[in-house]
Copies of this chain bind each other. A is one copy, B any other.
Amino acid sequence: MKILISNDDGIDSLGIQVLANKMKEIGDVLVVAPKTEQSAVGHAITMKIPVRVHEYKKDGYFFGYAVEGTPADCIKMGIKNIMRELPDIVVSGINHGSNAAINIIYSGTVSAAREAAIMDVPAIAVSVASHDATEFEYAAELAKILVLEVMEKGLRPGTLLNVNVPDLPADKIKGVLITQQGLSKWDDVYEERIDPYGKKYYWLTGKIIEMDENLKADHYALNQDYVAITPIHFDLTDYNTYDLMQSWNINTNKK
């Protein structure tokens, strides 16, 4: 089994190292990850400047390829220019910090997996719910189990699994739930500062507004100490509105 691994925290992060080591137990692993942190870049791709690729060593041994680009770039580059064939699966992570509810939209980790799904490769994004997480072993073991499940059962084309794991010892985790993207979102605040030259600048800050109160919602389930697995798809069509709008009469004065 050929496994392509990426993330958005950068190739030197602990999470991707633990993930790569775990995946080596079940397949041939190729790591292609951003050279530097790419959190919150969403599904950005690099077109206005060229992309560069470097061999990256850890502890003196080849670990993978570091790409000067986004997580989505890494998947494109990894499949098209390095593997030169489709992997059996892509696993993205293990992210330092959760990617649930609205954060799915902003996440580079999820976008790497989604780029794979666009290429008809099954994919899993894995995150541990703390930016200060140091314990990735349970999440890595779960990722391994899910890779084997996905290989056995398959995913429909275009679907990926977004997995969020509480930052807790395994025996404190209440269980694994299949969830939906929750509605919790950010109340953004721009913190205004003045630079040494007298000019204003702004830092994006804010806090999450909790919108969900049931275990179907990924963010809520995660906060209740469950693993939340949300299947997502790259088809954004709102089919309810699609049906409803067929009756709209959009008059542009055409005969």
Contact = CB atoms under 8 A, between A and B. Distances in A.
B201 A52 contact: yes
Interface string A43-81: 111111011110000000000000000001100110011
A146 B252 CA distance: 10
Contact of A118 (B48, B185, B193): B185
A60 B149 CA distance: 63
A80 B186 CA distance: 12
Given A39-B48, A42-B44, A245-B178, A250 B146 contact: yes
Contacts of A133: none
Contact of A50 (B149, B203, B238): B203
Nearest to A203: B50
A157 to B, nearest CB: 9
Interface of A: 37, 39-48, 50-53, 72-73, 76-77, 80-81, 102, 104-106, 111, 114, 118-119, 138, 141-142, 145-146, 149, 153, 155-156, 158-159, 170, 173, 175-176, 178-181, 185, 188-190, 193, 199-204, 227, 229-242, 245-246, 248, 250-252, 254
Contact of A245 (B231, B251, B252): B231
Nearest to A178: B245
A201 B51 contact: yes
B230 A233 contact: no
A169 B199 CA distance: 46
Dominant SS among interface residues on chain A: mixed
A80 B159 contact: no
A246 B178 CA distance: 6
A188 B156 contact: no
Interface centre among A39, A119, A158, A242 (most CB of B within 10 A): A242
Given A77-B202, A230-B237, 14 more contacts: A42-B72, A44-B44, A47-B204, A50-B201, A50-B202, A52-B199, A145-B250, A145-B251, A149-B248, A158-B238, A173-B254, A178-B245, A181-B236, A231-B241
A150 to B, nearest CB: 10
